[in-house]
A and B are shown apart, each in its own frame.
Chain A
Amino acid sequence: MSDTAGAATQGEHHAHEDHHGPQGLLKYIWSTDHKMIGMQYMFTGMFMAVIGGFMAYVFRMQLAFPGMNVPGFGQVSPGEYNALVTNHGTIMIFWVAMPVLIAAFGNFLIPLMIGADDMVFPRINRLSFQIFFLSAVILLASLFVQGGGFGGAWTAYPPLSAVAEYNQTNLGSSMWLIAVALEFVAFLLGGINFITTLMNSRAPGMKAYDIPLVAWMIVIASILFMLSVGPLIAGAVMLLFDQTLGTGFYDPARGGDPILWQHLFWFFGHPEVYVVLLPAIGVTIEIIATFARKKVFGYKLMLYTTVATGVLSFFVWAHHQFIAGIDPRMANIFTITTLLISVPIAELCFVIIATLYGGSIRLTTPMLWALAFMAEFLIGGVTGIFLGASGADIFFHDTYFVLAHFHYTFFPIAIIGTFAAFTYWFPKMFGKMMNDTLGKIHFWGTVIPFNFIFIPLFILGLGGQHRRIYNYQHFPELAGADMYVLRQIATIALLVMLAFQLVFFFNCIKSWMSGEKAGRNPWKSNTLEWTTESPPPHGNWPVDEMPNVYRGPYEYAHPDREEDYWPQNEPN
């Protein structure tokens, strides 16, 4: 496959010209092209990641050096602290992890990977981004309204979230809720697009088991999202009415029930963690297959396991509520289901590890990120078992042990997995190779400090430190000097990590401006996105060169072939 083949087809692009629509800057804003929408999601997500990271910086400084004037922010009041933590959590999950891993890569990759020229509903796709963008604006605006941003935690348990008198952020809490609800609507629209595109627009010859796993994972995640979020949308409407109209859906004094919200929230909340996990697993397996030059170990096994995980995830939600006042007998049932889910997830991990067996492993930057995802996620996964055991959760609930558990899952997913995907597909997205040395500096400068942030937090959790407390001086047992040392290690590690992000941004700009040309298929990968130009033109392929598919996506090192890869679109 040579680069020059692209030049000969330049003329073909005119065929597409007539649905280009608006010109100039508007061309980017009003584009219906899936790649452009993917980019919009990605840069919005990146921007929000910087904001979420900045918030983490501010409150970690406050935790390590209470009462200090945080450079770039100033004094942190208790109300501000709560708002920062709440919005950090909300942003990182709903405006970073989901838009980047699902919406950005889903938009960019699904049509390319299945050999289509766009999504099946390009205009709904654009609408989805616009609603998403609006939701981000509302969320950010909520931080600056009178009373400040919402500070009742990302889980927004009523009555605190429902009654202005209690949370003292009348406007902030409603805006937060509306922003989250709009974000859900955006992802429902996007999800319908992903699902139907994958179902209907595959290239001729592409059967269900020829679809690259990452596309499957994103679509299964979208289905999971769609089937779990509904009750919470209804719940959010009820909460909004409680806030604004004064109804009493969650007010026990008026026949309501605060626990109802917790059920609706976690019925969504737990599947949601797999919604973000699955795309990251997909990215990892894709990268590992490419750089180990190996067929994925048990493609179908992986797919079925994922579906099993999805189904099981609907039956574990109450493990977040063991001590919330639910019937204690329910805890036993949910302990069983929660522990059961370790089986399919363990299987996913084992499959990824087993894929390495017999490979020929090249440690490029994307591969390092993918391997780091696996290594670090295992820590997050196994610590979930401590929490799933109801007896142990009596102690662990709402301690920093929980916090460290889920940062050891979320960080590998939303940051490490994202960097893996970003560095892997960067050549395709921008047509240039990224600088590998800078990439590796950034990699080590992110992953090593990451462990130094959150290992100390595990220990603090074991010492009984609870979450969402802006200053531990009121708790004599938590105010000891050794505890502060741990908190300071975490904060300093964060500062180091943030500094290394500059390397990443520098690398992006440098590679984008003056990087080596990538060519169509720099990694010698099999999947269809690598068969077109980098970056792909509008329409992805010339109209008369739309790919046909002849085999599965992971035929690396096939014994019958000289070359160690076998693109999906190459006739036998």
Chain B
Amino acid sequence: MIERYLAQMSTYAGSIDGLILLVAVLVGFWFFAAEGMLFWLVWKFRERPGQKSQYLTGTEHHIKRWITWPHALVLVCDVFIVIGSIRVWNEVKQTLPEPDSTIRIIGQQWAWTFQHPGPDNELDTPDDIFTVDALHIEVEKVYHFKLESRDVLHSFSVPVFRIKQDALPGRSITGWFEATMTGEHDIQCAEICGIGHGVMAARIFIEDAGQHAAWVAANSNSTTP
């Protein structure tokens, strides 16, 4: 459903979109059934001269089952949605696959600072590469990110990855992603963070191994901003 509007570019984007489709099918069915019933009843029982309406209390068994059955079935649908949801949640937020590389992402009013590990692939070493509002990663590599904030809440969101995580001052939150395609896409700040919230944009550059190595080599001398 969503891939019509937004490319799927991470390993779990497909799972999230699949879950959304599952929910769409299940609630879509009930939605159309309920709307259909509503309009049909309004038409079927429209006022006709001289015709009195029926006296039904809603406690008659043969009528009540029109409520009790759907209501039990909704519960069954809920079970399917919960199972699907928890599986996806587990995949994205509760498991951390072994990283190929780790980056640090720092939000502050109103810019993103990205700390890349540099040539030695170790974070917090002198050769780290710092960039502002531009994140460079390599395709098909598992990245861990350590998300921090220097002031207020921000939220790191990459729509094409379907990933989103709030950044909190005083905490470092770890998450992961793995890109499946190369390209250049938007990073948005998804939590209101003051007047500049609307300009807190960044770009993610997903490069193949060669390009990425070249970028690392070209930038490994940069210093802390």
Residues of A whose CB lies within 8 Å of any CB of B are 78-79, 81-82, 151-153, 157, 159-160, 163, 166-168, 252-253, 258-259, 292-299, 301, 323-325, 328-329, 331-332, 335-336, 339-340, 342-343, 346-347, 349-351, 353-363, 371, 374-375, 378-379, 382, 385-386, 389-392, 394-395, 397-399, 459, 462-464, 466-471, 474-478, 556-559, 564
Contact = CB atoms under 8 A, between A and B. Distances in A.
B213 interface: no
B87 to A, nearest CB: 7
Interface in B119-140: none
B99 interface: no
A346 B67 CA distance: 10
Contacts of B51: 360
A379 B63 CA distance: 26
A389 B55 contact: no
Given A329-B94, A335-B82, A360 B64 contact: no
Interface string B45-82: 11110011111111100011011001100110010011
A100 B57 CA distance: 31
A350 B92 CA distance: 36
Contacts of A470: 198
A392 B163 contact: no
A335 B85 contact: yes
A409 B170 CA distance: 36
Given A343-B78, A474-B198, A463 B6 contact: yes
B27 interface: yes
**Top 7 nearest A-B pairs by Cβ distance?**
A252-B170, A391-B88, A464-B159, A298-B58, A358-B54, A297-B58, A389-B85
Nearest to A151: B195
Contacts of A332: 86, 89
B168 A325 contact: yes
A343 B173 CA distance: 35
B89 A331 contact: yes
Contact of B153 (A160, A359, A395, A559): A160
B37 A292 contact: no
B188 A358 contact: no
B151 interface: yes
B196 A78 contact: yes
Contacts of B155: 323, 397-398
B201 A361 contact: no
Contacts of B91: 391
Contact of B190 (A296, A347, A360, A466): A466
B199 A385 contact: no
A357 B45 contact: yes
B58 to A, nearest CB: 3
B41 A356 contact: yes
Contacts of A157: 152-153, 191-192
B38 A371 contact: yes
B157 interface: yes
B97 to A, nearest CB: 15
A325 B173 CA distance: 7
25 contacts: A152-B192, A157-B192, A159-B152, A166-B151, A293-B52, A294-B53, A294-B56, A297-B58, A332-B86, A342-B74, A346-B74, A347-B71, A358-B56, A360-B53, A361-B45, A362-B47, A385-B23, A389-B88, A391-B15, A395-B2, A395-B20, A462-B5, A466-B189, A476-B203, A556-B55
Contacts of A361: 41-42, 45-47
Contact of A336 (B56, B63, B82): B82
Contacts of A378: 31, 34-35
B201 A475 contact: yes
Contact of A392 (B5, B23, B38, B66): B23
Nearest to A153: B192
A394 B162 contact: yes
A559 B54 CA distance: 8
B92 to A, nearest CB: 6
Interface in B81-122: 81-82, 84-89, 91-94, 109
Given A152-B192, A301-B58, A469 B198 contact: yes
B153 A478 contact: no
A558 B52 CA distance: 10
Contacts of A357: 41, 45, 56, 63, 66
A292 B58 CA distance: 15
A137 to B, nearest CB: 26
Contact of B42 (A297, A301, A356): A356
B186 A478 contact: yes
Contacts of A463: 5-6, 159
Contact of B157 (A168, A335, A360, A466): A466
* Most chain A C-beta atoms within 10 Å of own C-beta, residue among B37, B46, B56, B87: B56
A392 B85 contact: yes
B55 A477 contact: no
B141 interface: no
B16 A391 contact: yes
A114 to B, nearest CB: 22
Contact of A375 (B19, B35, B84, B203): B35
Contact of B27 (A295, A331, A349, A385): A385
A242 to B, nearest CB: 13
A81 B46 CA distance: 47
Contacts of B64: 298
Nearest to B70: A350
Interface string B173-217: 100000000000110111111111111010100000000000000
A296 B87 CA distance: 41
Given A258-B168, A258-B169, A394-B163, A350 B1 contact: no
Nearest to B200: A474
B164 A398 contact: yes
* Most chain B C-beta atoms within 10 Å of own C-beta, residue among A82, A301, A360, A386: A360
A391 B58 contact: no
